[in-house]
Structure formats: structure tokens, C-alpha cells
Amino acid sequence: MSIARRTFLRSAAAAGLSTMAAGSGWIPVGRVEASQAAALAPPLPPGLPGSAYLQVFRNWAGDIVTDRLWTIDCGGENHVVQLANWAHANGFALRPRGYMHNWSPLTVADGTKDEKVLLVNVRTGLTGVRMQGSETVRVGTGVSLEPLLLQVELVGRGLAHHPAPGDITIGGALAIGAHGTAVPARGERPASGHSFGSMSNLVTSLRAVVWDPATNAYVAREFGRAQREIGALLVHVGRAFITEVTLRVGPRQQLRCQSFVNVPISELLAAPGSGGRTVSSYLDRSGRMEIIWFPFTTNPWLKVWTISPLPPLGSIPVLSPYNYTFADGLFGFLLESPRSVYDNPAGTPAYSRKQADGVRLGLLSSATSDIYGWGRNVMLYVRPSTMRVTANGYAVLCSRADVQWVLNTFYAYYSQALTQYANGGRYPVNGPVEIRVTGVDNPADSGVAGAQDPWLAPTRRRPDRPDWDCAVWLDLLTLPHTPNHAPFYAQLEQWLFATFDTGRTGIRVEWSKGWAYTHSGAYTSGDMIGGRIPASLSTGQPGGTQHADAAAVLDQLDPHRIYTSPLLDRLLP
């Protein structure tokens, strides 16, 4: 694809354009039916079960944009079986496609063009939701998070924590070990059916389309949580095709969410033992918090969720999610600002202050600094209209007692690094740091005897370090293509692993975000992809359940590698 063609495609996708005039030479971004696609892509081999169309794949941040790829609407599990066997017979890769709310190129690579790839729109066929008993729900992997939470809430159930966007499919969330932010508050007794690790740790069984040597074909097969193979499937990073899962769900909870913009970041991330309003103090009191800290600003946006069976005095009840309407577009008066940051990086501090001011004024004008409701209504707050940024992501495993040390150590380095870059006239980060804290995966939370760990989950427990009961999540956001962000992220990543992979703590990458940086960008470091990342998932783990074992199991279930992508071929060779 030419540079000019790619530039237009990115611009059109970013603008949300659906179709362009066929005779103009412009590229259709939206759906193009097979009957109109003859001149646009090589024809598909015969025998495809269903009618395909051409459509661009564009991820959340718009930094992964493909040419038009053959896409088909999923008709259900049996249809996936037929598609898998067709893909195997014709040398195609078969890739599930949901909302594309992902940063890493696990599904397809940027610039994929005229490849033998068939995308399967799982949102059209894998959409069943039904309770099984009082503590489990069976859900298709094409169901998005928001309607799932609503369905279980209607019968009095819910999750202890979950991601902030509601427009992610359950299949996509489980593939990367999605999470929210929560640990037990001091004295809190976790309810049966809840887990403070990843969503994948709630799985009690799942169905996947896998290779069957006995019939020499791909078939649908169910895996229980105690079966060995499910350890590789619970978080498979795209190297499998899951059609349905059964999740354990606990009692729904009413939460108070308070937003603070008057606590200095230096106090929140102070040295251990400092006292005051530290992250550890909020975790002790409430167990659930998130920091959104814009660079070159003093006071972040701090959210604190507290279990509250009764309505707190002064808290405003909310009956639906996405209550921070001012954050849609982040923020209306900033729509022209991103371009100016690219043209004038030195304007980054002023741009950050405008973002922080937007939060402060938005909370005031919308009266949402203290809201109260069911968990779904106060924990879902990211919509597609929120500003699109790219992000890196890491989970630092540590003991509860070391959470404050981890954050203070990061704060000291990050502040110094930003200052050093700014003194050289470079501003590589123009989005916030997001900080969350969760527990690690305890398979007993699934309620299944002999349950397997999620082998590839960033939140997988370390049996040799039972004191590591927390995961501190560090995400740095910036606008795509910001100058110097790749060298800055590469330097940061090297520091993170040198500092937190030392025995006192451990560190793993967050699959959905950016990682393996060099000066050329993310996913380019062979040392990370072939060395440090596999080691982070293998050290301290029992034999037969390490990174290489997960790769082997996934190969056994898909020996023809129809469920793969260029990045997965390097990550799970």
C-alpha cells in the first residue's frame, strides 16, 4: 500500500467515514459486498460457508489499520466449525473480530493487505446469555460486557470488578486476561463467586473449536476448568477460537464512587510509611481505586469505590453507566488541541493542564464527584466517543505491603524521566498515567475442584511467592504517533524490568497494551518477545504449565495454525 493511500485510509477511518465514491480512487472504509468487490481484492476460494464482504480493520487508537479484508458474520458455533475447516483446506488464517478495542496487533498486523485472512464478526452469532443455576452464567464470546453485566444484575449477580469500557466482547476480554481495579479492603470478606484477579479466573468451563485427530477435522469441544488444556485457553492472546464460556458470578454490589482532584500525586505516591492520603490508605479503607494523572500536573483524578449497602448521605444515585459525560471526546473544547501538540510538542504541559482542568470542571458541572449505584453503573465509564489514545501496559506483582513502594519508586523515576526529556525539548507523553491495583488469580475462586491457573495471564499467581497477592497496573497513554514516544517507552520498559524483576517483585506485560519496545516502536524487541516475556510467565511455575507448555498445548489444539497472526508467530512460535 502506498504512503498516500495509507494516509488517506487512516484519515478516513479516524473521521468515521463509511464509504467513498467508487470512481474517485478513494478507499472504501466501510463494508463492501462481495458482488461489488471483484476489483478490490482477490476472490475467495470456493466453498465458503456464507457470504463474505470486505471491510477495514481499525483498532481503538487507529494505529493498526489494514486494507480491506474479507470478513464474514458469524452464524453460531457450528458456523465457526465450518469456517475453521474451510480455512484449513484453503490455507487461510481465521481471526475473530469483535469491537477492535485493543492496542496490540494480536488479531492482524498494521498494514495487512490482500492476505489470506478471514475475519469473523463474532458479534452477530455468538450472542447467547443464560444463567445456569444461581452462581454461573453461560455466555457467547460475541456478547459485549455491558449487556452481560445487565443480565446478571437483573438476577442479583455481578462481578467484583471489570474493565471500564462496556463495548468489548467477552471473548476479547478473556483472551487477554482483562481486569478492573479491586483488592479486598481491610476486614472485607470476599463474597462467594467473586474474584480479585482477572475475568479469566471466573471461567468454570469453555467451548472452543479445535483440531480433532480422530476425525481429521476441526470440531467444537468443551473444556472443564480442571482439564489441563484449559490452562492455555483461559488467556490465549488470540491463539484459539473460543465460542462460549461459563463464568462464575457473585452477589451484585452497591458501590459509592467518589472522585477527588485535591490530593497531590506526591502524597498519593509518597514513600511507604509517610502517612496521609496514600494509595495504600485508600486500599485499606475501600479496596478499589484508580488514578488518572496527566503529565506535568500536580493533582490527578482519583476515583475511590467503596462498598455501601445503604445510600451514603450526599451521594447522588445513578441508574445507568457512563456518567462522566464530560470525558466523551476528552473534552469538547480540546478537539483542536491534539493537532497543536503534534505541531508544537512544547505545548504539552499546557495541554495536560487543560485536560486536568476539564476533569475538575466536568465533575463540578455534571455533579458526578460522588455517585452511588450498582457496580455496573459506577464502574463502566469509557465509551467509544472517549478520546482515542495509544498506551503501554505492565503489571507489577508484589505483596500488599509493597504496593506503596512500587508506586513511589515508579513516581520518582517517571517524574525525573519526564523532566529530563522536557529539558531536551522532547515531550513524548501527552496522555495520563493510569494506575490500578488488583489481586492475583486464585483458581479456587472458580469454585471448581482442581481448577487450572490461567497459564498466560499477567495476574497468574506465583506458587513460590504466596506473599505476592497484588498486581499494580501501570499504563502510560499518549496520542498515536507522538514524536519520541517509542524511545521513551523503550527506556521506561527497560527500567521497569530492571527495577521490578528482581525478586522483591515481579513484572509482566499487559497483553492488550503496548510492550516490547525499541526506538522503532512496540512489539519490535526480540529480547522481550523471545526472552523476558516468556521468562516472566515461567519463573516459579510448575513444570508443564509454563510459557512453552502453553504454546505447545495451543499448537496441539490448532496444529495447522489457522488461529495465528504475525505477532503470535513470534510470541508463541
Per-residue pLDDT at 542 = 97
Distances (CA, A) of 116 to 121, 411, 499: 16, 46, 42
Residue 550 within any structural domain of the chain: yes
**In a shared domain, residues 146 and 237:** yes
**Catalytic-residue membership of 188:** no
DSSP string, 438-492: EE-B-GGGGT-TTPPP-TT-TTB--TT-TT--EEEEEEEEE-TT-TTHHHHHHHH
Residue 86 within any structural domain of the chain: yes
**In a shared domain, residues 175 and 236:** yes
**In a shared domain, residues 154 and 98:** no
* pLDDT mean across residues, the chain: 91
Inter-residue contact 168 to 98 (CB < 8 Å): yes
**In a shared domain, residues 134 and 248:** yes
Count of domains in the chain?
2
Residue 306: other Cβ atoms inside 10 A: 19
Range in 15-24, 224-233, 541-550 with the lowest mean pLDDT: 15-24
**In a shared domain, residues 44 and 109:** yes
**Catalytic-residue membership of 101:** yes
**Phi and psi at residue 138, to the nearest 5°:** -100, 125
**In a shared domain, residues 8 and 112:** yes
**In a shared domain, residues 16 and 52:** yes
**In a shared domain, residues 45 and 87:** yes
Expressed as residue numbers, the domain containing 94 is: 3-123
Inter-residue contact 28 to 66 (CB < 8 Å): no
CATH code of 211's domain: 3.30.465.10
335: pLDDT strictly greater than 60: no
Residue 374 within any structural domain of the chain: no
**In a shared domain, residues 135 and 247:** yes
Domain C-terminal end among 123, 154, 175: 123
User: Which residue from 392, 395, 420, 396 is spatially nearest to 489, judged by alpha carbons?
Assistant: 392
Catalytic residue, chosen from 115, 434, 493, 510, is: 434
Count CA within 13 A, CB hemisphere, residue 422. 15
Residue type, 485: H
**Catalytic-residue membership of 77:** no
Domain C-terminal end among 74, 95, 123: 123
Range in 24-38, 165-179, 271-285, 299-313 with the lowest mean pLDDT: 24-38
Residue type, 411: Y
Residue 531 within any structural domain of the chain: no
154 burial class (0-12, 13-18, 19+ CB within 10 angstroms)?
A: exposed
Residue 193 within any structural domain of the chain: yes
**In a shared domain, residues 108 and 180:** no
Catalytic residue, chosen from 290, 465, 508, 532, is: 290
Domain C-terminal end among 94, 123, 152: 123
User: Which residue from 403, 389, 402 is spatially nearest to 476, judged by alpha carbons?
Assistant: 389
**In a shared domain, residues 61 and 161:** no
Residue 491 within any structural domain of the chain: no
Higher-confidence residue of 102 and 252: namely 252
Catalytic residue, chosen from 97, 436, 461, 465, is: 436
312 burial class (0-12, 13-18, 19+ CB within 10 angstroms)?
A: middle
Cα–Cα distance for residue pair 187/192, rounded to 1 Å: 16
**Catalytic-residue membership of 436:** yes
CATH code of 37's domain: 3.30.43.10
Segment 444-447 long-range contacts (CB within 8 Å, at least 24 positions apart): 445/194, 445/195, 445/196, 445/197, 445/201, 445/202, 445/248, 446/195, 446/201, 446/202, 446/203, 446/204, 446/225, 446/248, 447/135, 447/192, 447/193, 447/204, 447/248
Per-residue pLDDT at 520 = 95
Range in 35-39, 282-286, 303-307, 366-370 with the lowest mean pLDDT: 35-39
With H, G, I as helix, E, B as strand and everything else as coil, classify residue 373.
strand
Per-residue pLDDT at 113 = 86
Catalytic residue, chosen from 68, 88, 95, 101, is: 101
407: pLDDT strictly greater than 90: yes
DSSP 24: G
Residue 19 within any structural domain of the chain: yes
12: pLDDT strictly greater than 50: no
Q: Kindly state the percentage of the chain with pLDDT values over 70.
A: 91
DSSP 432: -
**In a shared domain, residues 63 and 151:** no
Distances (CA, A) of 103 to 125, 240, 436, 556: 24, 19, 18, 28
320 burial class (0-12, 13-18, 19+ CB within 10 angstroms)?
A: exposed
Residue 14 within any structural domain of the chain: yes
Inter-residue contact 163 to 180 (CB < 8 Å): yes
